[in-house]
Amino acid sequence: MSETVFTYAAPALKFGAGASTEVGHDLAALGARRVLLVTDPGVAATGHPARVAEVITAAGLEVTTYDEARVEPTDESLERAVAFGRDAGPFDAIVAVGGGSSIDTAKAVNLLVTNPGELIDYVNAPVGKAQAPAQPLLPLVAIPTTTGTGSESTTICVLDVLSLKVKTGISHPALRPRLAVVDPSLTTTQPAMVTAAAGMDILCHALESYTARWYADFDAKRPEERVPYCGANPIADMWSERALGLLAGSFRDAVRDGSNRVAREQMALAATFAGLGFGNAGVHIPHANAYPIAGRVRDFRPDGYPPDEPIVPHGMAVSLTAPEAFRFTFDAAPERHQRAAELLDPSAGSGPDALADVLATLMRDIGLPNGLAEVGYAEADVDDLVAGSLKQQRLLATAPKPVTDEDLAGIIRRSMEHW
Ligand SMILES: [Zn+2]
Protein backbone atom coordinates (compact mmCIF):
# COMPACT_ATOMS: atom_id res chain seq x y z
CA MET A 1 0.00 0.00 0.00
CA SER A 2 1.25 3.50 -0.80
CA GLU A 3 1.87 6.20 1.75
CA THR A 4 -0.88 8.78 2.17
CA VAL A 5 0.61 10.86 4.99
CA PHE A 6 3.44 13.37 5.15
CA THR A 7 4.82 15.20 8.15
CA TYR A 8 6.37 18.59 8.69
CA ALA A 9 8.33 19.85 11.68
CA ALA A 10 10.60 22.84 12.22
CA PRO A 11 12.23 24.78 15.03
CA ALA A 12 10.90 28.13 16.14
CA LEU A 13 12.80 30.78 14.18
CA LYS A 14 14.18 34.21 14.89
CA PHE A 15 15.73 35.82 11.80
CA GLY A 16 17.49 39.11 11.15
CA ALA A 17 20.47 41.32 11.87
CA GLY A 18 20.88 41.57 15.63
CA ALA A 19 18.70 38.52 16.40
CA SER A 20 21.56 36.87 18.29
CA THR A 21 21.66 39.72 20.83
CA GLU A 22 18.28 38.58 22.16
CA VAL A 23 19.27 35.03 23.00
CA GLY A 24 19.59 35.72 26.74
CA HIS A 25 15.95 36.72 26.78
CA ASP A 26 15.00 33.70 24.68
CA LEU A 27 16.82 31.28 26.98
CA ALA A 28 15.27 32.82 30.06
CA ALA A 29 11.87 32.42 28.39
CA LEU A 30 12.66 28.72 27.94
CA GLY A 31 13.19 28.51 31.69
CA ALA A 32 16.97 28.11 31.49
CA ARG A 33 19.30 29.09 34.34
CA ARG A 34 22.50 27.16 33.57
CA VAL A 35 23.46 27.15 29.90
CA LEU A 36 26.15 25.22 28.02
CA LEU A 37 27.51 27.09 24.98
CA VAL A 38 29.11 24.88 22.31
CA THR A 39 31.40 26.29 19.60
CA ASP A 40 34.65 25.50 17.78
CA PRO A 41 38.07 27.21 18.08
CA GLY A 42 37.81 28.94 14.67
CA VAL A 43 34.42 30.44 15.45
CA ALA A 44 35.54 31.29 18.99
CA ALA A 45 38.34 33.37 17.44
CA THR A 46 35.76 35.57 15.65
CA GLY A 47 34.46 36.72 19.05
CA HIS A 48 30.83 35.86 18.24
CA PRO A 49 30.49 33.12 20.91
CA ALA A 50 31.94 35.43 23.58
CA ARG A 51 29.40 38.10 22.62
CA VAL A 52 26.59 35.54 22.80
CA ALA A 53 27.87 34.41 26.22
CA GLU A 54 27.79 38.04 27.34
CA VAL A 55 24.16 38.57 26.41
CA ILE A 56 23.27 35.32 28.19
CA THR A 57 25.06 36.46 31.34
CA ALA A 58 23.45 39.88 31.04
CA ALA A 59 20.06 38.17 31.22
CA GLY A 60 21.06 36.77 34.61
CA LEU A 61 21.87 33.23 33.45
CA GLU A 62 25.01 31.22 34.06
CA VAL A 63 26.95 30.11 30.98
CA THR A 64 29.75 27.56 30.54
CA THR A 65 31.56 27.51 27.19
CA TYR A 66 32.92 24.44 25.41
CA ASP A 67 34.98 25.76 22.47
CA GLU A 68 36.60 22.56 21.25
CA ALA A 69 33.98 21.22 18.86
CA ARG A 70 35.76 19.74 15.84
CA VAL A 71 35.11 20.97 12.32
CA GLU A 72 33.79 17.71 10.77
CA PRO A 73 32.98 15.94 14.07
CA THR A 74 34.30 12.44 14.75
CA ASP A 75 33.10 9.87 17.29
CA GLU A 76 36.13 10.83 19.39
CA SER A 77 35.53 14.58 19.21
CA LEU A 78 31.86 14.09 20.13
CA GLU A 79 32.78 11.79 23.03
CA ARG A 80 35.14 14.48 24.37
CA ALA A 81 32.38 17.10 24.12
CA VAL A 82 29.90 14.76 25.83
CA ALA A 83 32.37 14.04 28.64
CA PHE A 84 32.77 17.79 29.14
CA GLY A 85 29.00 18.28 29.21
CA ARG A 86 28.48 15.41 31.68
CA ASP A 87 31.27 16.68 34.00
CA ALA A 88 30.43 20.37 33.91
CA GLY A 89 26.65 19.91 34.13
CA PRO A 90 23.87 19.70 34.93
CA PHE A 91 22.62 22.27 32.44
CA ASP A 92 19.07 23.16 31.55
CA ALA A 93 19.66 24.49 28.02
CA ILE A 94 22.32 24.30 25.31
CA VAL A 95 23.32 26.99 22.82
CA ALA A 96 25.36 26.18 19.71
CA VAL A 97 27.23 29.02 17.99
CA GLY A 98 29.00 28.11 14.77
CA GLY A 99 28.73 26.08 11.59
CA GLY A 100 27.07 22.70 11.17
CA SER A 101 29.88 21.08 13.11
CA SER A 102 29.27 23.07 16.29
CA ILE A 103 25.51 22.61 16.02
CA ASP A 104 25.89 18.87 15.39
CA THR A 105 28.27 18.58 18.35
CA ALA A 106 25.70 20.34 20.53
CA LYS A 107 23.03 17.86 19.38
CA ALA A 108 25.21 14.90 20.44
CA VAL A 109 26.01 16.52 23.78
CA ASN A 110 22.32 17.25 24.33
CA LEU A 111 21.41 13.64 23.61
CA LEU A 112 24.01 12.20 25.97
CA VAL A 113 23.73 14.59 28.92
CA THR A 114 20.05 13.68 29.12
CA ASN A 115 20.19 10.00 28.18
CA PRO A 116 22.25 7.05 29.42
CA GLY A 117 24.69 5.02 27.37
CA GLU A 118 27.35 5.80 24.81
CA LEU A 119 27.37 7.66 21.51
CA ILE A 120 27.50 4.48 19.43
CA ASP A 121 24.23 3.26 21.01
CA TYR A 122 22.41 6.05 19.15
CA VAL A 123 24.38 6.11 15.85
CA ASN A 124 22.45 4.97 12.77
CA ALA A 125 22.48 1.22 12.09
CA PRO A 126 24.38 -0.76 10.90
CA VAL A 127 27.31 1.26 12.30
CA GLY A 128 25.60 1.87 15.65
CA LYS A 129 22.54 0.54 17.49
CA ALA A 130 20.14 3.27 16.29
CA GLN A 131 18.61 3.45 19.75
CA ALA A 132 15.97 6.15 20.30
CA PRO A 133 16.41 8.48 23.29
CA ALA A 134 14.20 7.39 26.20
CA GLN A 135 14.37 10.73 28.04
CA PRO A 136 13.47 14.19 26.74
CA LEU A 137 16.39 16.40 25.64
CA LEU A 138 17.21 19.94 26.81
CA PRO A 139 16.06 22.89 24.72
CA LEU A 140 18.78 23.55 22.11
CA VAL A 141 19.16 27.01 20.60
CA ALA A 142 21.17 26.97 17.35
CA ILE A 143 22.91 30.14 16.14
CA PRO A 144 24.55 29.37 12.77
CA THR A 145 27.54 31.53 11.81
CA THR A 146 28.06 29.99 8.36
CA THR A 147 25.10 29.95 6.04
CA GLY A 148 24.47 26.65 4.38
CA THR A 149 24.37 23.51 6.46
CA GLY A 150 20.79 23.87 7.62
CA SER A 151 21.80 22.00 10.77
CA GLU A 152 19.82 24.54 12.79
CA SER A 153 16.63 23.07 11.24
CA THR A 154 17.43 19.36 11.02
CA THR A 155 17.24 16.29 13.22
CA ILE A 156 20.69 15.03 12.20
CA CYS A 157 24.15 14.97 13.70
CA VAL A 158 26.78 13.90 11.14
CA LEU A 159 30.00 12.27 12.32
CA ASP A 160 33.00 10.26 11.18
CA VAL A 161 33.46 6.95 12.96
CA LEU A 162 37.26 6.86 12.86
CA SER A 163 37.86 3.16 13.48
CA LEU A 164 35.56 2.24 10.58
CA LYS A 165 36.54 5.17 8.32
CA VAL A 166 32.85 5.82 7.70
CA LYS A 167 30.77 8.98 7.82
CA THR A 168 27.36 8.36 9.33
CA GLY A 169 24.92 10.10 11.62
CA ILE A 170 22.51 10.15 14.49
CA SER A 171 18.99 11.09 13.47
CA HIS A 172 15.99 11.51 15.69
CA PRO A 173 13.25 14.17 15.91
CA ALA A 174 14.36 14.94 19.48
CA LEU A 175 17.67 16.28 18.14
CA ARG A 176 16.04 19.13 16.25
CA PRO A 177 16.87 22.52 17.83
CA ARG A 178 14.01 24.16 19.71
CA LEU A 179 14.90 27.60 18.38
CA ALA A 180 17.02 28.66 15.39
CA VAL A 181 18.46 32.17 15.62
CA VAL A 182 19.69 33.24 12.19
CA ASP A 183 21.58 36.51 12.43
CA PRO A 184 23.09 37.44 9.04
CA SER A 185 25.40 39.96 10.69
CA LEU A 186 27.36 36.98 12.09
CA THR A 187 28.31 35.67 8.63
CA THR A 188 30.06 38.63 7.01
CA THR A 189 33.53 37.25 7.71
CA GLN A 190 33.40 34.36 5.19
CA PRO A 191 36.05 34.13 2.43
CA ALA A 192 34.67 33.89 -1.14
CA MET A 193 35.35 30.16 -1.52
CA VAL A 194 33.57 29.41 1.76
CA THR A 195 30.54 31.39 0.52
CA ALA A 196 30.68 29.52 -2.80
CA ALA A 197 30.86 26.07 -1.20
CA ALA A 198 28.25 26.86 1.46
CA GLY A 199 25.99 28.32 -1.22
CA MET A 200 26.20 25.17 -3.32
CA ASP A 201 25.18 23.21 -0.23
CA ILE A 202 22.10 25.43 0.16
CA LEU A 203 21.34 25.07 -3.53
CA CYS A 204 21.65 21.29 -3.43
CA HIS A 205 19.51 21.06 -0.30
CA ALA A 206 16.78 22.89 -2.19
CA LEU A 207 17.25 20.97 -5.46
CA GLU A 208 17.54 17.53 -3.89
CA SER A 209 14.53 17.96 -1.64
CA TYR A 210 12.54 19.40 -4.57
CA THR A 211 13.42 16.42 -6.78
CA ALA A 212 13.27 13.82 -3.98
CA ARG A 213 10.96 10.86 -4.31
CA TRP A 214 7.40 12.05 -3.71
CA TYR A 215 6.16 11.10 -0.23
CA ALA A 216 3.21 9.12 -1.62
CA ASP A 217 5.53 6.95 -3.72
CA PHE A 218 6.92 5.28 -0.59
CA ASP A 219 5.32 2.26 1.08
CA ALA A 220 2.83 3.13 3.81
CA LYS A 221 4.43 3.38 7.26
CA ARG A 222 3.08 2.61 10.71
CA PRO A 223 3.17 5.55 13.12
CA GLU A 224 6.27 4.25 14.93
CA GLU A 225 8.08 3.85 11.60
CA ARG A 226 7.75 7.47 10.50
CA VAL A 227 11.07 9.20 9.88
CA PRO A 228 11.85 12.94 9.84
CA TYR A 229 12.61 12.75 6.10
CA CYS A 230 9.47 11.71 4.29
CA GLY A 231 10.25 12.66 0.67
CA ALA A 232 9.15 15.64 -1.41
CA ASN A 233 5.83 17.02 -0.19
CA PRO A 234 3.75 20.15 -0.71
CA ILE A 235 5.18 22.08 2.25
CA ALA A 236 8.83 21.24 1.64
CA ASP A 237 8.28 22.17 -2.04
CA MET A 238 7.20 25.64 -1.07
CA TRP A 239 10.39 26.28 0.91
CA SER A 240 12.60 24.76 -1.80
CA GLU A 241 11.10 26.92 -4.56
CA ARG A 242 11.52 30.08 -2.52
CA ALA A 243 15.09 29.14 -1.65
CA LEU A 244 15.92 28.66 -5.35
CA GLY A 245 14.45 32.06 -6.20
CA LEU A 246 16.52 33.78 -3.48
CA LEU A 247 19.69 32.02 -4.65
CA ALA A 248 19.09 33.06 -8.24
CA GLY A 249 19.07 36.69 -7.12
CA SER A 250 21.93 36.74 -4.63
CA PHE A 251 24.41 33.85 -4.92
CA ARG A 252 26.82 35.35 -7.48
CA ASP A 253 26.72 38.76 -5.76
CA ALA A 254 27.46 37.25 -2.33
CA VAL A 255 30.55 35.43 -3.68
CA ARG A 256 31.78 38.42 -5.71
CA ASP A 257 31.53 40.90 -2.83
CA GLY A 258 31.56 39.49 0.71
CA SER A 259 30.60 42.89 2.10
CA ASN A 260 27.34 43.01 0.11
CA ARG A 261 24.98 42.97 3.07
CA VAL A 262 21.79 42.55 1.07
CA ALA A 263 23.18 39.54 -0.81
CA ARG A 264 24.36 37.98 2.48
CA GLU A 265 20.94 38.43 4.06
CA GLN A 266 19.27 36.84 1.05
CA MET A 267 21.70 33.91 1.25
CA ALA A 268 20.98 33.48 4.96
CA LEU A 269 17.27 33.49 4.19
CA ALA A 270 17.80 30.99 1.35
CA ALA A 271 19.77 28.72 3.69
CA THR A 272 16.99 28.88 6.27
CA PHE A 273 14.26 28.22 3.71
CA ALA A 274 16.20 25.32 2.16
CA GLY A 275 16.77 23.90 5.66
CA LEU A 276 13.06 24.07 6.44
CA GLY A 277 12.43 22.15 3.20
CA PHE A 278 15.10 19.47 3.20
CA GLY A 279 14.82 19.03 6.96
CA ASN A 280 11.54 17.27 6.16
CA ALA A 281 11.86 16.00 2.57
CA GLY A 282 15.46 14.72 2.61
CA VAL A 283 18.34 14.85 0.14
CA HIS A 284 19.62 12.22 -2.27
CA ILE A 285 22.39 11.41 -4.79
CA PRO A 286 24.65 14.50 -4.61
CA HIS A 287 24.70 14.27 -0.81
CA ALA A 288 25.29 10.49 -0.88
CA ASN A 289 28.25 11.04 -3.23
CA ALA A 290 29.59 13.88 -1.08
CA TYR A 291 30.40 11.50 1.78
CA PRO A 292 33.17 9.55 -0.03
CA ILE A 293 34.29 12.62 -2.03
CA ALA A 294 34.98 14.48 1.22
CA GLY A 295 36.09 11.41 3.13
CA ARG A 296 38.72 10.13 0.68
CA VAL A 297 40.43 13.48 0.04
CA ARG A 298 44.20 13.20 -0.46
CA ASP A 299 45.83 16.61 -0.77
CA PHE A 300 43.30 19.12 -2.07
CA ARG A 301 43.48 22.43 -0.18
CA PRO A 302 41.01 25.06 -1.41
CA ASP A 303 41.49 28.82 -0.96
CA GLY A 304 39.80 30.27 2.09
CA TYR A 305 40.15 27.15 4.28
CA PRO A 306 42.84 26.37 6.88
CA PRO A 307 45.89 25.12 4.89
CA ASP A 308 47.02 22.55 7.46
CA GLU A 309 44.60 19.79 6.46
CA PRO A 310 43.46 18.63 3.01
CA ILE A 311 39.70 19.10 2.65
CA VAL A 312 36.92 18.96 0.13
CA PRO A 313 34.41 21.12 2.01
CA HIS A 314 30.92 19.60 2.32
CA GLY A 315 29.17 22.02 -0.05
CA MET A 316 31.90 21.61 -2.66
CA ALA A 317 31.76 17.82 -2.33
CA VAL A 318 27.98 17.91 -2.75
CA SER A 319 28.16 20.12 -5.83
CA LEU A 320 30.78 18.15 -7.74
CA THR A 321 28.43 15.40 -8.93
CA ALA A 322 25.22 17.46 -8.79
CA PRO A 323 24.97 18.40 -12.49
CA GLU A 324 25.31 14.76 -13.55
CA ALA A 325 23.05 13.49 -10.77
CA PHE A 326 20.25 15.76 -11.97
CA ARG A 327 20.85 14.77 -15.60
CA PHE A 328 20.36 11.19 -14.37
CA THR A 329 17.20 11.88 -12.32
CA PHE A 330 15.60 14.16 -14.94
CA ASP A 331 13.33 11.51 -16.46
CA ALA A 332 11.84 10.59 -13.07
CA ALA A 333 10.33 14.08 -12.67
CA PRO A 334 10.94 16.16 -15.82
CA GLU A 335 8.63 19.04 -14.88
CA ARG A 336 10.30 19.50 -11.47
CA HIS A 337 13.80 19.57 -12.96
CA GLN A 338 12.62 22.04 -15.58
CA ARG A 339 10.95 24.30 -13.03
CA ALA A 340 14.08 24.25 -10.82
CA ALA A 341 16.27 25.20 -13.80
CA GLU A 342 13.95 28.10 -14.66
CA LEU A 343 13.80 29.33 -11.05
CA LEU A 344 17.61 29.50 -11.08
CA ASP A 345 17.85 30.98 -14.55
CA PRO A 346 14.75 32.18 -16.42
CA SER A 347 16.66 31.80 -19.71
CA ALA A 348 17.47 28.12 -19.03
CA GLY A 349 16.98 25.75 -21.96
CA SER A 350 14.68 22.76 -21.72
CA GLY A 351 15.13 19.00 -21.48
CA PRO A 352 17.45 16.69 -19.53
CA ASP A 353 20.45 19.02 -19.82
CA ALA A 354 18.81 22.27 -18.69
CA LEU A 355 19.37 21.95 -14.94
CA ALA A 356 22.82 20.37 -15.37
CA ASP A 357 23.88 23.27 -17.62
CA VAL A 358 22.55 25.94 -15.25
CA LEU A 359 24.48 24.33 -12.39
CA ALA A 360 27.75 23.95 -14.31
CA THR A 361 27.62 27.57 -15.45
CA LEU A 362 26.97 28.76 -11.92
CA MET A 363 29.82 26.64 -10.51
CA ARG A 364 32.21 28.06 -13.09
CA ASP A 365 31.09 31.64 -12.36
CA ILE A 366 31.65 31.34 -8.60
CA GLY A 367 35.06 29.69 -8.91
CA LEU A 368 34.34 26.11 -7.86
CA PRO A 369 36.56 23.26 -9.11
CA ASN A 370 35.72 22.00 -12.59
CA GLY A 371 34.82 18.50 -11.42
CA LEU A 372 36.23 15.58 -9.46
CA ALA A 373 39.54 15.55 -11.38
CA GLU A 374 40.44 18.99 -10.07
CA VAL A 375 40.10 17.87 -6.43
CA GLY A 376 42.34 14.87 -7.08
CA TYR A 377 40.17 11.98 -8.26
CA ALA A 378 40.66 9.87 -11.37
CA GLU A 379 39.18 6.83 -13.12
CA ALA A 380 41.04 4.53 -10.68
CA ASP A 381 38.98 6.01 -7.79
CA VAL A 382 35.54 5.40 -9.30
CA ASP A 383 34.96 2.00 -7.64
CA ASP A 384 35.90 3.29 -4.18
CA LEU A 385 33.74 6.37 -4.56
CA VAL A 386 30.79 4.22 -5.67
CA ALA A 387 31.29 1.90 -2.69
CA GLY A 388 31.26 4.94 -0.38
CA SER A 389 28.05 6.31 -1.90
CA LEU A 390 26.34 2.93 -1.65
CA LYS A 391 26.81 3.04 2.13
CA GLN A 392 24.38 6.00 2.16
CA GLN A 393 21.32 3.88 1.40
CA ARG A 394 19.05 6.13 3.45
CA LEU A 395 19.88 8.99 1.07
CA LEU A 396 19.83 6.93 -2.12
CA ALA A 397 16.35 5.67 -1.20
CA THR A 398 15.18 9.29 -1.34
CA ALA A 399 16.23 9.63 -4.99
CA PRO A 400 13.26 9.89 -7.36
CA LYS A 401 14.24 6.64 -9.08
CA PRO A 402 16.25 3.51 -8.17
CA VAL A 403 20.03 4.03 -8.27
CA THR A 404 22.30 1.07 -9.08
CA ASP A 405 26.05 0.91 -8.61
CA GLU A 406 26.46 1.26 -12.40
CA ASP A 407 24.31 4.39 -12.33
CA LEU A 408 26.53 5.86 -9.61
CA ALA A 409 29.69 4.90 -11.50
CA GLY A 410 28.35 6.68 -14.59
CA ILE A 411 27.46 9.82 -12.63
CA ILE A 412 30.89 9.90 -10.96
CA ARG A 413 32.79 9.20 -14.20
CA ARG A 414 30.95 11.98 -16.07
CA SER A 415 31.65 14.36 -13.16
CA MET A 416 35.43 14.38 -13.60
CA GLU A 417 35.17 17.55 -15.68
CA HIS A 418 32.09 19.75 -16.12
CA TRP A 419 33.20 22.35 -18.65
ZN1 LIG B 1 24.44 19.51 2.85
Tens digit of each residue's pLDDT (9 = 90 or more) over 249-286 = 999 999 999 889 899 999 999 999 999 999 899 999 99
The rounded Å distance from CA 61 to ligand 1 centre is 34
pLDDT digits (tens, 9 = 90+) for 391-404: 888 899 999 999 99
User: What is the 287 CA–ligand 1 centroid distance (Å)?
Assistant: 6
Segment among 29-43, 217-231, 278-292 with least mean pLDDT: 217-231
Angle at 297 between CA 295 and CA 298, to 5 degrees: 145
Give the Å distance between the CA of 91 and the centre of ligand 1: 30
The upper half-sphere exposure of residue 92, i.e. CA atoms within 13 Å in the direction of its Cβ, equals 10
Half-sphere exposure (Cβ direction) of 248: Cα atoms closer than 13 Å: 20
pLDDT of residue 191: 86
The helix or strand, by DSSP H or E, that contains position 63, with its residue range, turns out to be strand 62-66
Q: What are phi and psi of 247, to 5 degrees?
A: -65, -40
Residues with CB under 5 A from ligand 1 (ion): 201
CA of 200 to the centre of ligand 1 (A): 9
Cα 5 to ligand 1 centre (Å): 25
| pLDDT of residue 189 exceeding 80 | no
Question: Tell me: the pLDDT tens digits for 213-222?
Answer: 999 999 999 9
How many angstroms does the Cα of residue 202 sit away from the middle of ligand 1?
7
pLDDT for 48 beyond 90: yes
Across the range 164-172, mean pLDDT stands at 85
How many angstroms is it from 211 CA to the middle of ligand 1? 15
Distance 201 CA to ligand 1 centre (A): 5
Q: Tell how far CA 161 is from the center of its chain.
A: 18
Q: Cα of 54 to ligand 1 centre, how many Å? A: 31
pTM of the predicted protein model: 0.92
